[in-house]
Structure 1
């Protein structure tokens, strides 16, 4: 490890950290993430007056402090997102919704790793732009394991720079511009924020709450953090959470070939549920 680091962080510490993260939330850090782990946790270790990572890891294991564990998990999860990232997914979502909204039931979508909220609000803007979709029959659920980003998502406040590439009609309809000390910020309108329900959710939890079945699930850039057996288990549960012929959207680098026979490709990193008999 680098001698320039002011906090002792050994190869053994990193192996231990990886094992603790895996046991806690199922995330598997690869060997290249040592520097990332140090940079994200070092500030917290300093705040606690410690000079070596081993002491911090001891604290986590011995104190069993839920708040400290949450800080640990929050620091080591990645939250890269943007409005309408992977735009082809939203084109498919629009078409799928237009096929389904003629039915007399709710249209339900789950953003399973919502991060700071841009994905969930992109889903909401796409669906609320459909004239044939009654707002009262739309249910949007957003979840993440990271409590810090969930709070940001629920607030719906962003630097205006993050929304500058959006169509002007979307900005006018769905956003408020900040004034005074909020200049340079935008906020999602309340009627859009109220359309969403936000929950903390761990995809590798022993038990999933009964949320019913969804028409569409977005679970993008999440599976890459798990090993193959965990990926397969999550996919089985996602399949069991979808309506017949429901859609699953994954990240651009995620490939579920050989991991599940419940889905059939229907576009770039887009899959349709074809095995309707999957059980959790």
Structure 2
């Protein structure tokens, strides 16, 4: 007779990961994807993993840990574990001064360096794209600028380690309240509203913009990145804060290697280049230019 699973706790919040299991998961996440999970994150991680416990029909978080490490479930569960533990906060036009600098300074400077080319292709990489709000914000800014100047075209790559958020980016459907920061003129041009909005109104990015933004999975801890090495601008904002100093430096060095000479790296305002071995010229707060 097969052994019955223990009864689920009557109150899910009474179900906790044993400390040794949390530490094992935290060590795995830190080693494989660079994100540090201190003890203070334990309750948050437990809350997120309870959804996986239910989805797999397991009895408890302790059984989930056994599924990962004792029952050879880690390989199949790995993408779901990453989706559960990664934080994916994103907004349209977050830290808006960066997009103003992109429009007023970066693009004109990049085009001046390539003035011998006829309508050059500008490549922009959102290296921690989450659900795509940053990538589509960049697309809105560049689409408006390209329509004014008529002297360049562009392509945008969004990468993230979470397959769940990448799928959301490709779908490009967002809650209507999330697009509140989008300027009205851009909202009118680049957002579509449902003819019959539901209880939770949503909008979708117009197809002309979706065609210019592509998404791919990437672990920033990988030793190399399978992407072009003539990128004009890389946005890597508000993700390095989850890495230790050594991993921050490795990630920045790898990304800078993908920038063309004169290209730009944009970090979050809470982040810094201090302590890295990267020699770049700071041109604005959290904006750096490759020599």
SS in 2 for 1:153: helix
Query: Contact 2:191–2:203 at 8 Å: present in 1 too?
Result: yes
SS in 2 for 1:142: strand
Aligned length: 271
* Greater displacement, 157-166 / 106-115: 157-166
Distance 2:274 2:283 in 1: 13
Return the match for 2:258 from 231, 241, 249.
241
Q: How does 1:1-280 map to 2 (within 5 A)?
A: 5-61=13-69, 62-63=71-72, 65-94=74-103, 95-102=105-112, 103=114, 104=117, 105-130=120-145, 131-134=148-151, 137-181=153-197, 184-274=201-291
* Greater displacement, 192-201 / 50-59: 50-59
Distance 1:161 1:88 in 2: 21
Structure 1 position 65, deviation (Å): 4.7
Seen in structure 2, the aligned counterparts of structure 1 residues 20 and 175 have a Cα distance that, compared at 3 Å, is: same
Structure 1 position 17, deviation (Å): 1.3
Structure 1 position 272, deviation (Å): 1.6
Distance 2:51 2:191 in 1: 35
Distance 1:89 1:28 in 2: 27
Q: Whose radius of gyration is greater, 1 or 2?
A: 2
Aligned CA-pair RMSD: 2.0
* Greater displacement, 50-59 / 183-192: 50-59
Distance 2:240 2:276 in 1: 11
Distance 2:20 2:209 in 1: 47
Distance 1:119 1:83 in 2: 6
Instruction: Output one character per residue of 1:255-280: Cα deviation in whole Å (capped at 9) or x when no partner.
Output: 22011332232222211223xxxxxx
Instruction: Output one character per residue of 1:176-200: Cα deviation in whole Å (capped at 9) or x when no partner.
Output: 1111255722111000000011101
Structure 1 position 64, deviation (Å): 5.0
Could you tell me which runs of 5 or more consecutive residues in structure 1 were left unpaired when the two chains were aligned. 275-280
